[in-house]
């Protein structure tokens, strides 16, 4: 235990230089944890929103249904098999019918997705209750993004044209009953929701659906032929991927800072090994082996990260705690994250992240501190005492 004690004393004895290195390193600590937890918070928030409004406990897809290929939608519908229908009847699932359609807002043609959902469903947190038909007009629900891009507002009538099951074109006017604000683009952009039964009638697709959303925490998932169950893991994979991409992109900033800190520590080490040859010679005369001296100098360098972790904790913990309470208000119209976000972002910290960061920084610092000490391995005691280095 003597080496760490001596190392700490030497490090603290070096004064200002040590603290400069420590401060830069502590900034990388805080920034790494801050950014990583922000992205984690982002991902969690986006996932929660998607689960809330779109995925619930997972989805059964008609075997031809592929949300990424609208051209397949024409065939991607069918009568729901009994095991799933039972769940729907018990209120543990809700069907959705999807087809392609066109609208002509402001005289221009636009391809959209027409989606039918039960107005009374409570499986997903979509405000489908506004789809309860009261008069002649077919009520429609759209998201704020759709409203903006198509120039639609509540009360507007819009003509929707589609091909029914037999392939013949048909059209109806629908009235925008509600514009909902949601962070989830995939229930908003380019789509119009209408009552499911009405849609089935118009399309001549009695009892048919494209997908069925099951309630949250449904454990009993029967296997049925012709329909594939898509778990949350599958459905959320693209967000997971996006978060990972963002996280990597965001790392550039702290990798740069970390690099700076490593450079400073490396430089400090080289300098201190150069300047302290006589000290090393004295230590050898007192009975220290070269490997002990290498240990001492390496540890001295590595301890920068220990001090940095302490310093980072001193100002970082209050900051990160405050930040997790206040959150980060996103600028208006921040939509370019690739996934929907609420108005405020909250970082999500994890023990793994903090421990992982500390271990990573400690490891890198140790390596950087060790490299210049290899010179010591060849140092002769007599040369060291004369302040010479071969």
Partner 1 sequence: MENSFLIKTQDLVKTYPMGHTKIFALNGVNLNFRPGEFAGLVGPSGSGKTTFLNIVGSLDSPTSGSAVVMGKKIEDLSHKQAAWLRNQNIGFIFQTFNLLPVYTVYENVEFTLLLLKMSAEERKDKVMQALEWVKLADRAKSKPAQLSGGQSQRVAVARAIVKEPSIILADEPTANLDAENSFNILDTMEELNRELGTTFIFATHDEKVIKYLRRKITLVDGKVAKDEALEQKKVKGGNQ
Task: Kindly list the residues in this chain that would bind partner 1 in the complex (CB under 8 A).
Answer: 2, 6, 9-10, 12-14, 278-279, 281-290, 292, 380-382, 385
* Cα–Cα–Cα angle for 78, 131, 151, rounded to 5 degrees: 100
Minimum CB distance to partner 1 smaller for 44 or for 279: 279
Task: Give min distance, CB of 51 to partner 1, in A.
Answer: 58
Residue (120 or 289) nearer to partner 1, CB = 289
CA distances from 4 to 7, 260, 301, 362 (A): 5, 25, 11, 14
Measured from the CB atom, is 62 or 290 closer to partner 1?
290
**94 neighbors 218 (Cβ within 8 angstroms):** no
**Around Cβ 129, how many Cβ atoms within 10 Å?**
13
SS3 318: helix
Nearest approach in angstroms of CB 309 to partner 1 is 22
Distances (CA, A) of 203 to 99, 163, 171, 260, 303: 9, 7, 10, 64, 71
Query: Which CB, 117 or 384, lies closer to partner 1?
Result: 384
Nearer to partner 1, 345 or 376 (CB): 376
Q: CB–CB of 195/119 below 8 Å?
A: yes
Q: What's the min distance (Å) between Cβ of 45 and partner 1?
A: 50
Nearer to partner 1, 132 or 285 (CB): 285
> Do residues 264 and 17 make contact, with C-beta atoms less than 8 angstroms apart?
no
CB of 385 to partner 1, least distance (A): 7
Q: Which residues contact residue 188 at a Cβ distance below 8 angstroms, ignoring those fewer than 6 apart?
A: 142, 143, 144, 145, 146, 180, 182
What SS3 state is found at 159?
Answer: strand
Helix (H) / strand (E) element for 116: namely strand 110-117
Three-state SS at 115? strand
Rounded to the nearest whole angstrom, what is the least distance from the CB of residue 290 to partner 1 in the complex?
6
Which of 143/281 has CB closer to partner 1? Answer: 281
3-state DSSP call for residue 220? coil
Minimum CB separation of residue 292 from partner 1 in Å reads: 8
Instruction: Give the shortest CB-25-to-partner 1 separation in angstroms.
Output: 21
CB closer to partner 1, 203 vs 280: 280
116 within 8 A of 138, measured Cβ to Cβ? no
Residue 291: both structure tokens together? 């490997």
In whole angstroms, give the CA distance from residue 199 to residue 208: 10
From the CB of 281, what's the least distance to partner 1, in Å? 8
Q: Which two tokens stand for residue 293?
A: 């001296």
């Amino acid at each position: 235990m003597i080496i760490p004690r001596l190392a700490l004393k030497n490090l603290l004895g070096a004064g200002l230089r040590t603290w400069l290195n420590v401060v830069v390193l502590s900034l990388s600590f805080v920034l790494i944890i801050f950014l990583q937890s922000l992205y984690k918070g982002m991902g969690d928030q986006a996932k929660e929103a998607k689960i809330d409004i779109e995925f619930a406990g997972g989805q059964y897809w008609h075997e031809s249904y592929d949300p990424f290929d609208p051209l397949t939608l024409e065939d991607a519908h069918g009568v729901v098999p009994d095991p799933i229908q039972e769940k729907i009847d018990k209120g543990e699932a809700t069907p959705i019918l999807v087809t392609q359609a066109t609208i002509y807002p402001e005289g221009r043609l636009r391809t959209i997705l027409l989606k039918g959902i039960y107005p009374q469903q409570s499986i997903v947190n979509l405000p489908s209750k506004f789809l309860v038909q009261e008069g002649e007009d077919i009520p429609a629900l759209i998201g704020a993004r759709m409203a903006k891009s198509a120039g639609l507002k509540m009360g507007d009538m819009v003509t929707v044209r589609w091909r029914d099951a037999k392939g013949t074109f048909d059209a109806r006017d629908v009235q925008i009953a509600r514009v909902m604000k949601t962070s989830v683009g995939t229930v908003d952009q380019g789509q119009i929701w209408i009552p499911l039964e009405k849609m089935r009638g118009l399309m001549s697709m009695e009892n048919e659906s494209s997908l069925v959303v099951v309630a949250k925490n449904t454990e009993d998932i029967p296997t049925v032929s012709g329909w594939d169950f898509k778990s949350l893991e599958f459905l959320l994979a693209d967000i997971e991927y996006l978060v990972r991409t963002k996280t990597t992109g965001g790392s550039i900033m702290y990798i740069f800072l970390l690099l700076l800190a490593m450079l400073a520590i490396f430089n400090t080490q080289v300098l201190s090994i150069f300047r302290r040859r006589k000290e090393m010679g004295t230590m050898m005369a007192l009975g220290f082996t070269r490997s002990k001296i290498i240990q001492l100098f390496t540890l001295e360098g590595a301890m920068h990260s220990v001090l940095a972790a302490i310093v980072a904790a001193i100002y970082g913990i209050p900051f990160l705690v405050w930040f997790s309470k206040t959150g980060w208000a996103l600028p208006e119209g921040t939509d370019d994250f690739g996934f929907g976000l609420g108005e405020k972002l909250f970082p999500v910290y994890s023990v793994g992240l903090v421990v992982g960061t500390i271990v990573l920084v400690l490891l890198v610092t140790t390596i950087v501190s060790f490299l210049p000490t290899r010179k010591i391995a060849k140092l002769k005691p007599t040369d060291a005492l004369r302040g010479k280095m071969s």
